[in-house]
């Protein structure tokens, strides 16, 4: 079980690295060929696709959870019922999404684009996105089933291959005249073929193949999944709204052309968020299996140690982004964008650090079927975020929106932390002392080191920036290992690293 967790987390980390490299290479190409206006359009369309995903009613994490649960109990018929029933439901949603895309592209494309003088290429953009959703909705069930089997490494390997292929094609074929449609079309084709590969992998699953069977479609299975998923749906809905409020508010008050100045530093912080998601993704099925086998003490040990390690990464990247974000964006995209980034980065880093204090909370509560509280806290977060964003954008423009999440995070984080600590049987003060406190001194050391680097102007290029960042990371983890980890934790970490290489 633990070897599977290490393998999957390592695979997720590998895909995170590949995705980060691709983003690093492709973003300047997108900015150059799309321009400020179409880059903003692409971001708004991405938000619209996210809202379309809400129609799944939170079924995706429910599928992953129930597949892991029934797999641990060796109930293959129940597993097949979950897969076949949710696959049919998501296929029907895909049909509706595709039909809606066709209608919007032909009748009222300005609903998404927000421009009455719309050109034909925006209509084609909406049509392509609709076609992609037709394949994506049922394909997500196959992907979540692989996650339930804890075979992230398979889905990650396939995803990485198609990410690289699509990026190379875009790089070779993109021009300013075709950029928007080229990105959309290649992305749609790549993701569609990827999901077909997932279907094939599941059908070849041993000893029990997983495939769609009309005989396994069951209203009982759908109700069971739905009871669980509606909690996830409320959580996902408020999360999606919360993640997109900034772009929608900026578009409404400052216009689509300034989104690029906000999104570039935001995407840099999203890499930060993605690392946390990557490091925690494989833990939900693990906690679900431990729950099914009643191994509460093992779950507690993994929870505390995992939270400690993940928060150390969060604090390192947070300090590094705060100190070097401006120079990074300047070398990456251009000085014009880098000069506008520091105040946005500051607000977003503070918010992200606050939300990462309890990095495994959402995964653990979902695995324990206690994620109803997440729907409530996400709703509270969104309710606080929307008016705060509107107030700040009116006062400080799009820069103010970057600070809108700090107040909601200060309210929501303690609520979730208190709930998870009660469930795993540990005091909040003990949790903070064991998982958060050890990262503070190493983070201060990195801050001082980077302050000296900037003070003496030792960074003159992207290569030098990356080199100093690596030195800072080594310094951070050196200090962290010496003074931040207990003897038993050092032994556990070394033994698990050795076991990972012995697999």
Q: What is the pLDDT of residues 40-86, one digit of tens each?
A: 888 888 887 777 777 777 788 788 888 888 887 788 888 899 889 99
Helix axes 487-502, 296-332, angle to 10 degrees: 80
Q: What is the pLDDT of residues 222-258, one digit of tens each?
A: 888 888 877 667 666 777 777 788 888 998 888 888 8
Q: What is the pLDDT of residues 149-206, one digit of tens each?
A: 877 777 888 888 999 999 999 999 999 989 989 999 999 999 899 999 998 888 887 7
For residues 461 and 334, is the Cβ–Cβ distance under 8 A? no
What is the C-alpha to C-alpha distance for residues 113 and 53, in angstroms, rounded to an integer?
Answer: 18
Q: What is the pLDDT of residues 235-244, one digit of tens each?
A: 667 777 777 8
What is the C-alpha to C-alpha distance for residues 467 and 332, in angstroms, rounded to an integer?
Answer: 15
pLDDT score of 117 more than 80: no
What is the C-alpha to C-alpha distance for residues 40 and 122, in angstroms, rounded to an integer?
Answer: 13
Spell out the long-range contacts of 497-503 with Cβ–Cβ below 8 A and sequence spacing 24 or more: 499/2, 499/3, 499/6, 500/3, 500/6, 500/7, 500/10, 503/3, 503/6, 503/7
H helix and E strand count, the chain = 21, 0
pLDDT score of 448 more than 80: yes
Q: Of 5-9, 256-260, 401-405, 463-467, where does mean pLDDT reach its minimum?
A: 5-9
What is the C-alpha to C-alpha distance for residues 197 and 326, in angstroms, rounded to an integer?
Answer: 40
Mean pLDDT: which of 223-227, 263-267, 401-405 is highest? 401-405
Per-residue pLDDT at 9:
64
Using pLDDT thresholds of 50, 70 and 90, give the confidence band for residue 392.
Answer: very high
Q: How many CB atoms lie within 10 A of CB 110?
A: 12
Answering whether pTM is above 0.85, one says no
Torsion of CA 114, 118, 119, 122, to 10 degrees: 30
Nearest to 351 by CA among 312, 403, 280: 403
Per-residue pLDDT at 97:
84
- Could you tell me where the DSSP H helices lie in 293-341? 296-332, 335-339
């Amino acid at each position: 079980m633990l070897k599977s967790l290490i393998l999957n987390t390592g695979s997720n980390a590998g895909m995170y690295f590949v995705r980060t490299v691709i983003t690093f290479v492709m973003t300047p190409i997108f900015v150059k060929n799309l321009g400020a206006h179409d880059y903003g359009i692409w971001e708004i369309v991405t938000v619209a696709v996210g809202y379309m995903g809400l129609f799944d009613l939170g079924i995706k994490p429910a599928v992953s959870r129930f597949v892991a649960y029934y797999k641990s109990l060796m109930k293959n018929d129940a597993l097949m019922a979950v897969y076949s029933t949710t696959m049919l439901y998501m296929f029907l949603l895909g049909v509706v999404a595709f039909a809606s895309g066709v209608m919007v592209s032909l009748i009222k494309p300005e609903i998404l684009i927000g421009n009455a003088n719309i050109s034909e290429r925006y209509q084609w953009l909406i049509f392509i996105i609709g076609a992609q959703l037709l394949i994506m909705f049922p394909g997500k069930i196959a992907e979540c089933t692989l996650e339930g089997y804890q075979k992230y490494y398979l889905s990650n390997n396939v995803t990485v291959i198609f990410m690289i292929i699509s990026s190379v094609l875009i790089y070779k074929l993109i021009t300013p005249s075709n950029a928007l449609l080229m990105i959309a079309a290649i992305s749609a084709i790549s993701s569609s073929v990827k999901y077909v590969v997932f279907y094939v992998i599941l059908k070849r699953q041993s000893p029990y193949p997983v495939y769609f069977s009309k005989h396994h479609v069951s209203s009982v299975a759908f109700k069971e999944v739905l009871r669980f998923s509606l909690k996830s749906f409320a959580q996902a809905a408020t999360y999606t709204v919360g993640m997109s409020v900034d772009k929608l508010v900026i578009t409404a008050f400052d216009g689509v052309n300034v989104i690029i100045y906000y999104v570039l530093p935001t995407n840099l912080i999203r890499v930060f968020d993605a690392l946390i998601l990557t490091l925690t993704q494989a833990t939900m099925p693990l906690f679900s299996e431990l729950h099914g086998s009643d191994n509460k003490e093992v779950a507690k040990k993994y929870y505390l140690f995992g939270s400690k390690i993940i928060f150390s990464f969060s604090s390192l990247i947070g300090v590094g982004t705060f100190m070097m974000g401006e120079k990074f964006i300047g070398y990456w995209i251009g000085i014009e964008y880098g000069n506008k980034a520091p105040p946005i980065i500051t607000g977003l880093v503070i918010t992200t650090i606050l939300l990462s204090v309890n990095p495994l909370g959402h995964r653990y509560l979902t695995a324990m079927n206690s994620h109803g509280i997440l729907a409530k806290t996400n709703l509270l977060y969104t309710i606080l975020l929307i008016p705060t964003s509107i107030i700040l954008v009116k006062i400080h423009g799009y820069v103010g929106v970057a600070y809108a999440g700090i107040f909601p995070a200060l309210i929501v984080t303690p609520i979730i932390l208190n709930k998870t600590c009660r469930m795993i049987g540990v005091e909040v003060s003990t949790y903070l002392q064991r998982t958060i406190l050890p990262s503070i001194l190493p983070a201060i050391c990195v801050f001082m080191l980077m302050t000296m680097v900037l003070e003496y102007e030792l960074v003159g290029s992207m290569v030098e920036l990356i080199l100093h960042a690596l030195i800072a990371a080594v310094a951070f983890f050196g200090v962290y290992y010496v003074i931040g980890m207990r003897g038993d934790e050092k032994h556990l970490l070394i033994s698990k690293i050795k076991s990972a290489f012995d697999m």
